[in-house]
Amino acid sequence: MPYLQYLVKIGLTAVTVVAVSELAKRSTLWGALLTSLPLTSALAFVWLYVDTGDTDRIARLSIDVLWLVVPSLLFFVVLPVLLRVGVGFWWSMAAATVSTAIAYAATVALLARASSRS
């Protein structure tokens, strides 16, 4: 039975990613709308609830996701800026990814420091 559950998880997740990429080919605005929805988070919350039934864990995960959305926004600033000034796609993706990773590390460090003080 666990194998069937994993297959369903993989299938739904794959369908979501393919839907976003196909929709974005037709309309960047609608692709962006679907991409901006917290689908990954919602799927993770559903799978976590199905697996554990632990609503407190889901609430904590949701708050952690909220804090980590902030540094992820850097990706969506760096990528278009670099692309518009003529940096190649792969270099822009790499720079956006690295800058976002640094922002994540700083945010996680700040959150860990803040939680250790309380």
The whole-number pLDDT of residue 8 equals 83
43 lies in a domain? no
Confidence of residue 98 (pLDDT cuts 50, 70, 90): very high
What digits encode the pLDDT tens for the residues 24-38?
Answer: 899 988 888 888 878
Domain count, the chain: 1
> Which parts of the chain fold into alpha helices (H)?
2-26, 28-36, 39-52, 55-72, 75-84, 89-117
The whole-number pLDDT of residue 118 equals 62
List Cβ neighbours of 106 (8 Å cut-off, separation of 6 or more): 71
51 lies in a domain? no
The whole-number pLDDT of residue 44 equals 86
Residue 58, pLDDT above cutoff 80: yes
**Amino acid identity, position 114:** A
Domain that holds residue 87: 73-118
Confidence of residue 47 (pLDDT cuts 50, 70, 90): confident
5 lies in a domain? no
